Amino acid sequence: MDHRSFNGKDIRSPGEALSYMVECTLATVADLLLKKNPPKFETARQIEMAQNGFNMIRYTDEKMYGLRSSKVNTVFNGSVQAWADDFRARGEHGNS
């Protein structure tokens, strides 16, 4: 499985399930940040959930799947908050 075809029906292991959940949570963060007035508490909560899952993936040396997770890992050195701040500043749409 690679990041281009990653979806729920491709899950074959607990690590892939965690990676999928993190990718979905990052998508939720992106959706929240695209709102005119994103709810601060919910956005912060989703960022924290994504960060906790992301940290567990790194801790267990699982492979990262998903475009957002890959970007958080490579461009933002694993910081979901830094990714979210950049996303917000750019007002990104589409794959983040």
Q: 11: Cβ–Cβ under 8 A, 6 or more apart, which residues?
A: 17, 20
pLDDT bin (cut points 50, 70, 90) of residue 92 is low
User: What was the pLDDT predicted at 94?
Assistant: 47
Q: Can you tell me the mean pLDDT for 22-27?
A: 95
Higher-confidence position of 10 and 42:
42
pLDDT at 67 over 90: no
pTM, entire model: 0.85
The per-residue b/e assignment along 70-86, b for 16 or more CB within 10 angstroms, e otherwise, is ebbbeebebbbeebbee
Q: 46: Cβ–Cβ under 8 A, 6 or more apart, which residues?
A: 25, 28, 29, 32
Higher-confidence position of 2 and 64:
64
User: What was the pLDDT predicted at 53?
Assistant: 95
Q: How far apart are CA 13 and CA 19, in angstroms?
A: 10
